[in-house]
Every structure is written in C-alpha cells, then in structure tokens.
Amino acid sequence: MLRKQDAVLDFTLGKLVIQKATLTDARVKVSSRYGVVLVEPFKANLYNGQFNAMLKMDVRTDTPRFTITEKLLGVQSAPLLKDMFDDEYLSGNANMDVSLTTKGNRISSLKKNLNGKMSLAFKEGSVNDSKLSSTINQAIAVIEKKPFDPNQKGTNFSKLTATAKVTNGVIDNRDLHLLAPKFQIKGLGKANLVSEQVDYQLRLMQPDKDGNKEHIYAPIDIKGGFDNLSYRFNEQEYLKQLADREVKKIEKKAKERIDQEINKAFEGLFKR
C-alpha cells in the first residue's frame, strides 16, 4: 500500500507522548514517495533538552529497510527514566547520538539485523538507589578501606561517557568512563538484543593522577537477562591484584639487591 502513496504532512504538536516519554513543541514532517517514507525533521523539546531525529522506511521490496538517527542534547535523564521505566536509577545532563539501520517484518528480525553506532555523555549526575549503586559503593568501601554503609543510596559522578558499535543486534562497548572525585570507573562488554542477555564488567580504580600505574581495579560483573541482571563485586580478584603488586615490589627490591651485590663483586675484582 505504501509503495503507491505519495504524500507530505507537516505539523506541530504542543505535546506528544512516545513510550511514556513526553515531548513538547514538536515539529514533524512526514513524506512518502515511491515507497520511501521519510520522517524529517522530527524536532521537540525533551525534559529541559532537545530531541532531533530522522526515520527512513524503505518498503520498495518485500523486506522493509529502516534508517534511524537520533540526537539528544542537554536532556535531564532522571525524569525521562522515571516516566519511561518508573525508576530514576541514572541522573544527569545527557547528550546522545544514535545512527542505526535494520530490516525485517518482525521485531525479532529488526533486532537481529540492527547495525550502527551510538555514543552518550552525562555531566554532573549520579547512579541512584539500585542494586548497581549498592554494589559500586561496596567496592568503593573496600578500595578506601572503610566499612560499607548500606544506607548510602547513590554514587555521584562529574562525567560519564561511552561509545558503542552495534553489529547484528549486539551492542559492544569498550570505552565507558565514569569520573568521580575520588575514583573512576571503566567499563566494557556486550548486550545482546536478540537473546536479551548482558555480559559486562565495570572496573573501579583510583584516578590516573593518583599514580595507579598498575591499573589495579575492583571488578563488578554484570550478567544475565535484561529483566534479571546480577551485580557481583569480585573482591577476591581485586585482592589478588593487590597481592600480585606486593610480590612484584618484593621481586624488584630483591633484583636491585642482587644487582648491587654483583656490582660490588666486580668492583672488588678490578681493585685486585
């Protein structure tokens, strides 16, 4: 049907709700020509920030093809997540860029054929009351050699950035970086949209300026299904890294001592 329709619609909306997220002052232009439907521009205000998107749907063949680009600028993430998921687990001023393509007639096919890239950046935010923030605070307590306070509900940060590549429905991120006053977190792993499984690791460590040359980190493993994620701080792995560092220090001192003795022996030989 769409292959035979030629039309252009250009309209504005004072309020538009998509998946429980509220957009205001939206401008949308929809054009259809020779089996290609284009939604561009699609602009709106979104939680004190701006939303800009483009959607292209090509139905000239039996398998529809989709191209999606999306940009968020200065969006307050806490109220957005509250409306969409009834949870404010991540707050901050958010920027996001998404560029994706896919094809298919079913949701399962659209997931499996999803490819592209995305990036995000948060400023002055927090990981709020959740299993994740509790696990992070547990690891921080061990790093700082302080008792764990279960009443601490959040983890504040100054900056959070990440980029990801999407290949056949698998989101692959290798460069997550969260910066806080006393620590930093680096993250890497995958989220499979097809199987709805996550295999990810956060690595808490001291800031680079503190001379953490060995890059010793406290690992938090995030695994499981989208609706049943587990968060585990691997304290034994962290303690093992500390022990290995001490062993290296001892080995270095021993080597220095041996070198000194060898040098003395050579000096003695030449004095004879």
pLDDT of residue 30: 94
Residue ranges in the chain assigned as alpha helix (H) = 77-85, 107-112, 131-143, 235-271
What integer is the mean pLDDT of 197-214?
80
* Distance, CA of 235 to CA of 246 (rounded, Å): 17
Reply yes or no on whether the pLDDT at 248 is more than 90.
no
Of the candidates 116, 107, 10, the residue with the CA atom closest to the CA atom of residue 67: 116
Residue bearing the bigger pLDDT, 177 or 268: 177
pLDDT of residue 271: 57
Say which range, 60-74, 180-194, 200-214, has the weakest mean pLDDT.
Answer: 200-214
Question: What does residue 104 show for φ and ψ, rounded to 5 degrees?
Answer: 145, 165
pLDDT of residue 6: 74
Average confidence score pLDDT of the chain: 88
Residues forming a β-bridge with 263: none
Question: What does residue 23 show for φ and ψ, rounded to 5 degrees?
Answer: -105, 145
pLDDT of residue 131: 85
pLDDT of residue 86: 82
Question: What does residue 250 show for φ and ψ, rounded to 5 degrees?
Answer: -65, -45
pLDDT of residue 217: 94
Residue bearing the bigger pLDDT, 182 or 190: 190
Reply yes or no on whether the pLDDT at 3 is more than 80.
no
CB 213 within 8 A of CB 241: no
pLDDT in tens, 38-64: 999 999 999 999 999 999 999 999 999
What integer is the mean pLDDT of 235-260?
79
pLDDT of residue 213: 59
* Distance, CA of 91 to CA of 127 (rounded, Å): 7
pLDDT of residue 191: 97
What integer is the mean pLDDT of 255-270?
64
pLDDT tier for residue 1 given thresholds of 50, 70 and 90: low
Question: What does residue 265 show for φ and ψ, rounded to 5 degrees?
Answer: -65, -40
What distance lies between CA 5 and its chain's CA centroid? 40
Residue bearing the bigger pLDDT, 242 or 264: 242
What integer is the mean pLDDT of 207-230?
82
CB 115 within 8 A of CB 102: yes
Task: State both tokens at 133.
Answer: 């923030």
pLDDT of residue 85: 82
pLDDT in tens, 122-158: 999 998 867 888 899 999 999 888 888 888 878 889 9
pLDDT in tens, 176-185: 999 998 889 9
Q: Scanning the structure block, which residue is given the tokens 């949870």?
A: 87
What integer is the mean pLDDT of 83-104?
92
Please tell me the pTM assigned to this model: 0.84
pLDDT of residue 98: 98
